[in-house]
Amino acid sequence: MRELAERIREALQSFRRDKGWIHEQHVQVCRVPAPTFLEQKRAEWMQAQLAGLGWEAQIDRAGNVVAHLRGEAAGPFVALTAHLDTVLAPRTPEEIYVAEDGRLNGPGVSDNGAGLAALLAIAKVFPACVALRGTSRSLLLVANVGEEGEGNLSGMRFLCRQPPFGSRIQTFVVVDGPSTDHITCQALASRRFEVTFTGPGGHSWSDYGVGNPVHALGRAIALFADTPAVLDGTPRSSFNVGVIEGGMSVNSIPSSALAKVDIRSESAARIEEAVAALQAAVERARDVENERVTAPRGAPGGRITAKLKEIGARPGGKLAEDAPLLEALRAVDAHLGIRAQVDCASTDANVPLSMGLPAVSIGAGGQGGGAHTTGEWFHAEGRELGLQRILLTLGLLLTGDRMANGRTA
């Protein structure tokens, strides 16, 4: 047992020795743009890096990079995943840079450059970690597409439901963003909608009096925002109008206007109530605008129409308090002196949790902020602890009591 514990300590110390290499991989992966739906170049880059580290890596039909060690393709698997896509993407490689204070700056460096760098760090050390490799389970590394925005968790949905790996993955550890302060084990459900108003359009003077889709859209947003009975209080809920489009020029009546709305809640019933409130707000805004219509000179009608279209839905779910996965993470945190809080959030773990499969989402270590903005940043202080946490957790999940006994010997 003492020899086993020594091997484990040696593996954990490798992250300190490799910190320069890990940092360089982090910079390089972030310099490959990967906005949602356009992740292919970053996927190809990740595939090449994993193959160079001795893994059998392939890109599946969804665009996910999936890798396993040679001779371990049959499973069952514990999957370590990190999403490839970012909300914003660098326009040039120089937008990803290291500042004098050591911070890595640029779009996507924390969410989810940190997760992808962690995936590569584990990929480098794991093949030599005989003490951490299981006999009944194998490790599957996944860099998946479609986590952000309208990607609607497409990569994870494919991974969980389609061959060859869908039925072979027993446990999911999702690495998303920096830090070690949380364990996301409850999936925050959400639904997303596109609201569209359309009308005849026209000249702002000569066609004045026709229905204006932008006016109706603004009214719909205001009406929906003023429904606190639906969205305030507990269980916690939220909404966000994240996109507004419409119009051609200041002196043209728009022929269409569009908004995209995100609704989230810890309660499925509250989501349904919020969706009903959104539908009512859209219909009321349409009716009010049409009541204001006066027939323009030389043109009949002038009324507008409205459409509410669902563009995404993330399922909810929750990991049981006594789940072996959660117990393993808590044991590792206790060993490393990490104080983490369980929380509820929307991540790739939503999909397996909704299917009754054990899954958590955790950070990759380090510090970061400004996610989904041009001011996003990451600092590597604390990264080593996050990587040790991931590796030890994987070891417990893959080897069970054999490693636990060695760790405490």
Task: Please name the residues in contact with 24: beta carbons below 8 A apart, sequence gap of 6 or more.
Answer: none
**362/309 same-domain check:** no
**181/212 same-domain check:** no
The answer to whether the CB of 134 falls within 8 A of the CB of 171 is no
Query: What are the tokens at 275?
Result: 């969706």
Domain boundary among 297, 314, 331: 314
Domain boundary among 314, 349, 365: 314
Task: Please name the residues in contact with 242: beta carbons below 8 A apart, sequence gap of 6 or more.
Answer: 260, 261, 262
Rg (CA), the chain: 25
**Structural domains in the chain (count):** 2
Domain boundary among 293, 314, 335: 314
Chain segment 207-252, per-residue pLDDT in tens = 999 999 999 999 999 999 998 666 777 888 999 999 999 999 999 9
Residues 278, 284: Cα–Cα separation, whole Å: 10
pLDDT tens track of the chain, all 409 residues? 455 567 778 888 899 999 999 999 999 999 999 999 999 999 999 999 999 999 999 999 999 999 999 989 888 999 999 999 999 999 999 999 999 999 999 999 999 999 999 999 999 999 988 777 777 899 999 999 999 999 999 999 999 999 999 999 999 999 999 999 999 999 999 999 999 999 999 999 999 999 999 999 999 999 999 986 667 778 889 999 999 999 999 999 999 999 999 999 999 899 999 999 999 999 999 999 999 998 665 455 799 999 999 999 999 999 999 999 999 999 999 999 999 999 999 999 999 999 999 999 999 999 999 999 999 999 999 999 999 999 999 999 998 744 443 332 2
CATH number at residue 177: 3.40.630.10
**379/298 same-domain check:** no
| CA nearest neighbour of 115 among 38, 34, 171, 185 | 34
pTM (2 d.p.)? 0.89
**201/150 same-domain check:** no
The answer to whether the CB of 65 falls within 8 A of the CB of 57 is yes
**244/284 same-domain check:** yes
Provide the CB-side half-sphere exposure for 124 (13 A, CA).
19
Residues 395, 292: Cα–Cα separation, whole Å: 67
**263/157 same-domain check:** no
Range(s) of the domain holding residue 331: 2-188+316-407
**182/193 same-domain check:** no
